[in-house]
A and B are shown apart, each in its own frame.
Chain A
Amino acid sequence: MLSYLLKRLLMMIPLLFGITIITFVVIHLAPGEPVEMQVAMNPKVSAQARQRMREFYGLDKPLHVQYVTWVARMAKLDFGRSFAPDNRPVTDKIKERIPVTLSLNIIALILEFGLAIPIGILAAVHRDTLLDKGITIFVFLGFAVPTFWLALLLMYLFGVKLSWLPISGLHSLGSEGFSPFRWLWDMAKHLILPISVAAFGSLAGLSRYMRSNMLDVIRQDYIITARAKGLSERTVIYRHALRNALLPVITLLGFSLPGLIGGSVIFETIFAIPGMGQLFYMGVMARDYPLVMGILVIGAFLTLVGNLLADISYALADPRIRHGQR
């Protein structure tokens, strides 16, 4: 187990290196430069002013020099300063947004898994009944409905017509003066719509996956054995079948890890949530190289960690794998 872990960790070093190269190349291949995006079509900007700005950002140096400077800095965990006019450290910009995105995504993820797993089990156990079909329609509806459209309808209903929920943002006006409890309640109210819309949209994938896993497992011999032993249906499903059907889901959970820091642009734009998705999108649009590369590298790194964790927990959960490794 330990040597396996070590091997995996060592493997990550060349991978990370490759990631930095690809990241750097991809963003520099995109047409347009940060300076261009800021001053293009502005009659007040002369060629000298552009040149000055290019020098300020170090864009006048050859590409390989720019790459080495960037990687050397990153080795010290310094992602550099943003090329946006604010010139702030990339780390600050990311730090500012990560709590929002992370907490939103974690809540949505818990909700998603918490709902999709029971729904999947229910559908599998009551296979081909009206309940199964109803669930299928429901989850696919969530999958098929465009998020922005549903979001707008719900905003209109609950925000404008009924005035039950705030429409967008994270806090009400004047929430700075609220008591901690009221402040939290205010924020919770702001989060109801975005989180419900997000979870509704992602139920389909996971619940269908859970359903088919469960169906596979139920057909296994040991389930027949368990039933033959005279165990109650409840014990058969939840003790014997579920444990095995859950295994692949753990892998999925591992894959969701990098997704936790990435937000959806459409979603954040509609609900005016200052998250990572918007930050990244704006960064790409403005060709803010350090910011985009920073986010990509962090995302790639988390994907690696997520895979590693998934593999480890898989080994822990499944004795077949655990013993096979020895």
Chain B
Amino acid sequence: MKMRWGLSLLSLLFLFSLVACDSGGKTIRPVARKPGKPAYGDAIVVGTGGEPSNLIPILASDVPSHDIAGLVFNGLVRYDKNLKLEGELAESWDVAPDGLTITFHLRKGVKWHDGHEFTSRDVMYTYRITIDPKTPTAYADAFKQVKTAEAPDPFTFRVSYAKPFAPALESWGMSILPAHLLEGKDITKSELSRHPVGTGPYRFKEWIAGQKIILESNPAYYEGRPYIGRYIYRIIPDNSTMYMELKAGTLDMMGLSPVQYSRQTNTPEFTARFNKYRYPAFVYTYLGYNLRHPLFADKRVRQAISSAINKDEIIHGVLLGMGQVAHGPYKPGTWAYNSHIRDFDYNPALAQRLLAEAGWKETNSDGILVKDGKPFQFTIITNQGNDQRLKTAQIIQRRLKNVGIDVKIRVIEWASLLAHFIDKGNFEALIMGWTIGQDPDIFDVWHSGKTGPKELNFIGFKNIEVDRLLEEGRSTFDMEKRKRCYYRIQDILAEEQPYTFLYVPDALPVVSARFRGIEPAPAGITHNFIRWYVPKEEQLH
């Protein structure tokens, strides 16, 4: 599910992972042109840094592939503009009182792009092929929780689980594949990976390798024909080139960098031609400590480091202010976010006191704290190619020097960072980022059972209460109960400081001003893409 909303860690700038903010009210309201009359036609040219790899969504885990798949395919459910689950191909669904069985009532009269009718057979096929051991998919795990799946009639689909599993509902947002075109064939060699057939608002038209993908509006779309006639996804690997294409008028939509947003796009000429949007993205960046390392075993040390770091300064220096302080693993303003977390704000005096309490007292000739004859020294590692993380590390290095901690920085290529450092637990501290899912389940990152090699709790965080709360939170559909679990987890994390949560950057999309009907909402700007339009007199293509 999450994949349809953009999952990759490096996806900051990609459009479909952009999500709006309903708190803070920082969104700059673009200057409104006359709304004009909705009209069919025109094309939108969207820039992307990477080329999609495979347009059968279960086989790809990159953001560009899912951008396209999100327009061509539908799931049974989806998140609406307020990030609540609503029916897509399922008109409605019932969860049995015991939380074990979900029955989906499918929409009637939905047609595949080739005219074939959509039925429960397609859902069944999608489920079966995803859990098939021969399918090389990254998305089988949520479906593997299913005990039985049945399709009693063409428009009903029922799944039951061994135990209540809250993220289950979300997992049915997975793109449903056409059984009539795939059944009995080897999905890994299917031509659908280059020429998808779905039920979504746009039909696949053409893919010119390395250059662009062209989609056409689907006049028979069940929610109505989209206004914009064609969707052109242009592959432009370099961000500066993409920005110049935008300025030259040959690109309609892209994600801006903080510098572009704040310094290069404020001329009257630019603001007359484009609308800029700004809201927190669904990602956060953190400084994580290897809790197996004796240096970080004492929580006072971690609290001290957090107190010594000025997060506002990082946001100002690295993001030019285009972001907000992170206090925990959730995005401010979402339902699971606890706004009363007692985090450690910038307070060097407190940092020094905590370090002294932990036994780091006298300093050597360099001004570095010493305990048992050893100076307080550690290395922060981060991945190559992410300038923001490197700059963050440098600012932290400077701040920690002030309280007597000597920090070294090492930038390592992604593959060897994973293989030699993270997987082996061979690091002291690291700066990385996580995508924040719409469902607040964070079991994989924080449960003590996930500390093995190649698992995501690589800092080795173990807390019995958090374990219990994580298990409880994912096993009930009761929102209030879940909220209580996740609120408490945030309190514990704020006290323990296994990570210093640093910032949630803003997503900064820009769209040509000829497109109207854009409604920023918690789910971003693309939630009502099929209702965007260009007034007849302004149409270009």
Contact = CB atoms under 8 A, between A and B. Distances in A.
Contact of A274 (B54, B209, B445): B209
Interface stretch (A8-16, A30-38, A125-133): A30-38
B194 A86 contact: yes
A163 interface: yes
B416 interface: yes
B175 to A, nearest CB: 14
Interface string A1-40: 0000000000000000000000000000011100011111
A44 interface: yes
A268 B51 CA distance: 14
Contacts of A42: 7, 61, 138
B133 A156 contact: no
Contact of B237 (A30, A163, A166, A278): A278
Interface stretch (B28-36, B228-236, B362-370, B517-525): B228-236
A167 B248 contact: yes
Given A155-B244, A163-B248, A167-B245, A86 B193 contact: yes
Nearest to B416: A31
B241 A271 contact: yes
Given A44-B2, A52-B136, A96 B209 contact: yes
Interface stretch (B105-113, B139-147, B289-297, B305-313): B139-147
Interface string A270-284: 111111001100000
Contact of B138 (A45, A168, A173, A278): A45
Contact of B45 (A44, A173, A273): A173
A36 B420 CA distance: 13
Nearest to B136: A56
Contacts of A80: none
Interface string A205-247: 0000000000000000000000000000000000000000000
Contacts of B139: 44
Contact of A84 (B3, B53, B414): B53
A86 B62 CA distance: 11
A96 B212 CA distance: 14
A53 B140 CA distance: 12
A32 B422 CA distance: 12
A57 B135 CA distance: 11
B262 interface: no
Given A156-B244, A270-B238, A274-B211, A85 B65 contact: yes
Nearest to A38: B61
Contact of B418 (A32, A97, A275): A32
Nearest to B60: A85
A270 B138 CA distance: 32
A316 B188 CA distance: 52
Interface residues of A, number: 55
A87 interface: yes
B386 interface: no
Highest count of chain B CB atoms <10 Å: which of A36, A167, A268, A273:
A167
Contacts of B188: 56, 87
Most buried by B among A42, A96, A271: A42
A171 interface: yes
Contacts of A166: 250
A44 B194 contact: no
A274 B2 CA distance: 30
B185 interface: no
Contacts of B232: 173
Contacts of A85: 53-54, 59-62, 65, 136
A37 B523 CA distance: 28
Contacts of A155: 241, 244
B415 A36 contact: yes
Contact of B211 (A45, A171, A174): A171
B541 A173 contact: yes
B92 interface: no
B60 A272 contact: no
A44 B235 contact: no
B418 A40 contact: yes
A17 B193 CA distance: 35
Given A167-B241, A173-B541, A274-B211, A49 B141 contact: yes
Interface string B216-241: 00000000000000001011111011
B124 interface: no
A282 to B, nearest CB: 8
A47 interface: yes
Contacts of B238: 168, 269-270, 272
A40 B62 CA distance: 12
Nearest to A51: B133
A97 B210 contact: yes
B252 to A, nearest CB: 11
Nearest to B45: A173
Contacts of A273: 210
B479 interface: no
Interface in B383-426: 413-416, 418-420
A77 interface: no
A249 interface: no
A46 B141 contact: yes
A169 interface: yes
Contacts of B136: 52-53, 56-57, 85, 87
Contacts of B483: none
Contacts of B462: none
Contacts of A40: 414, 418
A176 B454 CA distance: 47
Nearest to A87: B188
A30 B237 CA distance: 24
B444 interface: yes
Contact of A169 (B9, B62, B234, B415): B234
B61 A31 contact: no
A287 B211 contact: no
A122 interface: no
Contacts of A96: 209-210
B189 interface: yes
B265 interface: no
**Which of B53, B60, B208, B232 has the most C-beta atoms of chain A within 10 angstroms of its own C-beta?**
B53
Interface string B1-45: 011000101000000000000000000000000000000000101
Nearest to A32: B415
Contacts of B208: 171
26 contacts: A31-B415, A31-B416, A36-B415, A37-B414, A42-B138, A43-B444, A44-B142, A47-B455, A49-B140, A52-B133, A52-B135, A85-B61, A87-B193, A96-B209, A96-B210, A155-B241, A163-B248, A167-B248, A168-B236, A168-B241, A168-B245, A171-B208, A269-B237, A272-B211, A275-B210, A278-B210
Given A36-B415, A169-B212, A272-B235, 15 more contacts: A31-B416, A41-B9, A41-B456, A44-B138, A46-B140, A47-B452, A56-B134, A85-B53, A87-B136, A100-B210, A167-B245, A167-B248, A169-B234, A274-B235, A279-B210
Task: Please give me the 10 A-B residue pairs with the lowest Cβ-Cβ distance, nearest first.
Answer: A274-B210, A32-B415, A31-B416, A43-B444, A31-B419, A56-B136, A85-B54, A85-B53, A272-B236, A269-B237
